[in-house]
């Protein structure tokens, strides 16, 4: 375990509210929650007085303290926005900084705090296409309005933090965002075990939340397509979410139970083992802010095969730490080509070295330091 970040006199006493849809212990937590927690935890270690305001999942306490951070929970998938707004309005003079994490729909925190409070809006990726996947037409249109024109106006004078260059490009092009944007990328943890023996037979792994926009059914279809060419192939699906039952039924329906194994949520050590022994990691997502699972796989020396879409084209160095399926190329075809290359042990070792070197450049300490540089100094006593 790495030592905590040393206290920073510039952050000591800085009162920070971090508002995020969920916390890392929520049953549907993902990469956005990891980002918020890893950044927030390090700001607290540097001396910031940090409160994490989030939704309340089943079985979670309304309030608790973890690693010196106050966690306040309330509201569900949609009601968290109104509950967080009311909470912030009541405490609008208690904070110097608000970190407003947008997961499709922002919290519009500038409307509930004085102008003297610094607001940083964190955007992982643009959700415009995903609204149509998750919601009926009228609700999808409302979501696009809130993410686009409404947010563009409310945050126009506030600094926005994006996690990747393609997120910046999507915000400018698809949301017509006019406010200032800076990039603070995702970080990563060093693997618990530096090396894992990869399987003798070709194997693939896909890690992620089992939600519609991750499109894990395409991975099941890919396994069915490739088994003629790679009869010994196995595919591990790791993660939890509302799509788990449907994917389980799909695997059984297509007679793939001996090929595709669904593991659900597993401890970090087991997840690392499953990823570290695979020949390649897969992502069928229609778009990411970055793709934290890609970085985690690379740290273990495992390349990723993914679509050439927002976020993933930043996380994967095409041809070096993985392969991207561009327009007109199927994920199955690119995966088959990758397996052929990786069947050569010397080439596989070269790719693994590239992956580890790439992942080593991204740490949470570095990302937190970049983020901290965007915050004001702690106010003087007697404020």
Secondary structure string (H, E, C) spanning 212-243: HHHCHHHHHHHHHHHCCCCCCCEEEEECCCCC
Looking at the structure, do residues 139 and 253 belong to the same domain, yes or no? no
DSSP 8-66: -TTTTT-EEEEE-S--TTSTT--HHHHHHHHHHHHHHHTT-EEEEEE---TT--SEEEE
CB neighbours of 133 closer than 8 A, spacing ≥ 6? Answer: 212, 213, 286
**Which segment of 138-147, 293-302, 309-318 scores lowest on mean pLDDT?**
138-147
Res. 382: pLDDT tops 50: no
Q: Classify strands 97-102 and 15-19 as parallel, antiparallel or unpaired.
A: parallel
Q: What is the mean pLDDT of residues 214-224?
A: 90
Looking at the structure, do residues 125 and 50 belong to the same domain, yes or no? yes
Higher pLDDT, 187 or 104: 187
Determine the structural domain holding residue 310 and report its residue range. Answer: 203-360
Q: Is residue 3 part of a domain?
A: no
Q: What is the mean pLDDT of residues 243-257?
A: 91
Give the pLDDT score at 211.
84
Domain count along the chain: 2
Looking at the structure, do residues 124 and 233 belong to the same domain, yes or no? no
Res. 360: pLDDT tops 80: yes
Do 364 and 42 form a contact (C-beta atoms < 8 A)? yes
Mean pLDDT score across all residues of the chain: 89
Res. 132: pLDDT tops 80: no
Looking at the structure, do residues 220 and 300 belong to the same domain, yes or no? yes
What does pTM read for this prediction?
0.85
Res. 194: pLDDT tops 80: no
Res. 11: pLDDT tops 70: no
Chain segment 39-77, per-residue pLDDT in tens = 999 999 999 999 999 999 999 999 999 988 999 999 988
CA 107 to CA 284: how far, in whole Å? 29
Q: Is residue 47 part of a domain?
A: yes
Give the pLDDT score at 290.
80
Looking at the structure, do residues 350 and 257 belong to the same domain, yes or no? yes
Element (H, E) at 383: none
Res. 383: pLDDT tops 60: no
What tokens appear for 140 in the block?
């999808």
Q: Is residue 10 part of a domain?
A: no
Give the pLDDT score at 241.
84
Residue 208's pLDDT band, with cuts at 50, 70 and 90, is confident
Do 107 and 19 form a contact (C-beta atoms < 8 A)? yes
Looking at the structure, do residues 52 and 171 belong to the same domain, yes or no? yes
Do 102 and 120 form a contact (C-beta atoms < 8 A)? no
Q: What is the mean pLDDT of residues 72-88?
A: 93
Helix (H, G, I), strand (E, B) or coil at 368: helix
Q: Give the strands of the sheet with 280-283, arranged side by side.
A: 260-264, 234-238, 203-207, 280-283, 304-307, 322-325
Residue 2's pLDDT band, with cuts at 50, 70 and 90, is very low
Looking at the structure, do residues 76 and 152 belong to the same domain, yes or no? yes
Looking at the structure, do residues 134 and 241 belong to the same domain, yes or no? no
Give the pLDDT score at 380.
53
Looking at the structure, do residues 345 and 241 belong to the same domain, yes or no? yes
Q: Cα angle vertex 148, ends 143, 153, to 5°? A: 125
Res. 351: pLDDT tops 80: yes
Res. 5: pLDDT tops 70: no
Looking at the structure, do residues 40 and 107 belong to the same domain, yes or no? yes
Q: What is the mean pLDDT of residues 177-183?
A: 92
CA 77 to CA 83: how far, in whole Å? 11
Q: Using alpha carbons, select from 207, 49, 180 the residue that is nearest to residue 123.
A: 180
Q: Quick one: the chain helix, strand, coil %, rounded to 5?
A: 40, 20, 45
Give the pLDDT score at 339.
96
Q: What is the mean pLDDT of residues 155-175?
A: 92
């Amino acid at each position: 375990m790495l030592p905590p970040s040393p206290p920073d006199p510039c952050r000591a006493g800085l009162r920070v509210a971090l508002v995020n849809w969920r916390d890392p212990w929520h049953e549907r937590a993902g990469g956005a929650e990891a980002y918020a927690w890893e950044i927030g935890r390090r700001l607290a270690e540097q001396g910031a007085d940090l409160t994490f305001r989030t939704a309340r999942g089943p079985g979670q306490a309304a309030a608790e303290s973890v690693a010196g951070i106050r966690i306040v929970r309330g509201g569900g998938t949609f009601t968290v926005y109104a509950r967080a707004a009311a909470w912030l309005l009541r405490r609008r003079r208690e904070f110097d900084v608000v970190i407003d994490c947008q997961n499709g729909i922002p919290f519009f925190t500038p409307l509930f705090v004085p102008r003297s409070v610094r607001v940083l809006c964190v955007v992982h990726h643009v959700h415009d296409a995903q609204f149509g996947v998750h919601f009926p037409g009228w609700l999808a249109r409302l979501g696009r309005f809130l993410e686009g024109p409404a947010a563009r106006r409310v945050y126009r004078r506030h600094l926005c933090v994006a996690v990747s260059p393609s997120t910046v490009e999507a915000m400018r092009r698809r949301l017509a965002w006019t406010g200032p944007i800076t990039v603070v990328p995702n970080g990563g943890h060093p693997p618990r075990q530096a090396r894992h023996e990869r399987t003798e037979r070709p194997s693939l792994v896909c890690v992620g939340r089992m939600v519609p926009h991750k499109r894990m059914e395409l991975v099941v279809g890919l396994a069915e397509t490739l088994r003629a060419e790679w009869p010994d192939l196995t595919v591990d699906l790791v993660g939890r979410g509302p799509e788990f039952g449907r994917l389980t039924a799909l695997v059984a329906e297509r007679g793939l139970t001996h090929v595709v194994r669904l593991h659900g949520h597993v401890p970090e050590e087991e997840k690392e083992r499953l990823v570290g022994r695979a020949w390649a990691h897969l992502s069928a997502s229609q778009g990411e802010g970055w793709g934290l699972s890609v970085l985690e796989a690379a740290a273990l020396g495992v390349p990723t095969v993914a679509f050439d879409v927002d976020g993933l084209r930043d996380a994967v160095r095409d041809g070096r730490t993985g392969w991207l399926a561009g327009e007109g190329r199927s994920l199955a075809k690119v995966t088959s080509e990758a397996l052929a290359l990786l069947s050569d042990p010397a080439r596989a070792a070269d790719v693994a070295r590239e992956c580890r070197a790439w992942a080593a450049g991204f740490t949470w300490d570095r990302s937190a330091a970049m983020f901290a540089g965007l915050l004001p100094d702690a106010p003087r006593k007697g404020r």
